[in-house]
A = this chain, B = another copy of it.
Amino acid sequence: MKILGIDPGSRATGYGIIEKQGSELSFVAAGAIKTTPGASMPVRIKQIFAGLTQVIALEKPDTAAIEQVFMATNPDAALKLGQARGAAIAAMTALDLEVSEYTARQIKQSAAGYGAASKEQMQHMVAKLLRYDEPLSFDAADALACAICHAHFNHSLNKLLGTTANTAVNARRKKGRWRL
């Protein structure tokens, strides 16, 4: 199962894709969609939407996750973040991806084992967990952390229900393989 994680932002929207096989997680791709500095919000939104649509078309993830933002401290920052988040979720849901939401605490706990981990700790732990040696930007690391969190929660839920991971998706993919 391929999982897409997103760390939205109006200047840069991080994305990270991991593959989950059993309880094994591996790195597939990560990066950031950077918007033109000084451009209007409609132009930035178009860039985020188009960039993410391209990533999804290329990598074909089975499911997606994004950080749930409960409260922002600054109304102006909240408005900008909200618009980037709206554009990113629009791109994912327009391509029929189911989008799960996790709190910052859940994501940090999953990726770094510590709900108040710093950006640097997250960057370090995400690379270690995925055995990835190349440098990762904060945006990409946060997006990968979100995907890792989704993999863990999905796994726990499936263990709880006594089923294999994401039954519907697996069935579809297996069917695809049989056809090959």
Q: Name A residues whose Cβ lies closer than 8 Å to a Cβ of B.
A: 40-43, 45-46, 48-50, 53, 66, 69, 71-76, 78-94, 99, 101
Contact = CB atoms under 8 A, between A and B. Distances in A.
Classify the interface of chain A: helix, strand, loop or mixed: helix
Contact of A84 (B86, B88, B93): B86
A86 B6 CA distance: 15
Contacts of A49: 90, 93-94
Copy tally for this chain in the complex stands at 2
Contacts of A73: 75
A80 B82 contact: yes
A61 to B, nearest CB: 15
Nearest to A45: B89
Given A41-B89, A87-B89, 20 more contacts: A42-B89, A42-B92, A45-B86, A46-B90, A48-B90, A50-B94, A73-B75, A74-B75, A76-B78, A78-B78, A82-B85, A82-B86, A83-B83, A83-B89, A84-B86, A86-B87, A86-B88, A86-B90, A90-B90, A94-B94
A166 B96 CA distance: 36
7 contacts: A42-B66, A42-B92, A42-B101, A71-B76, A75-B75, A80-B82, A90-B90
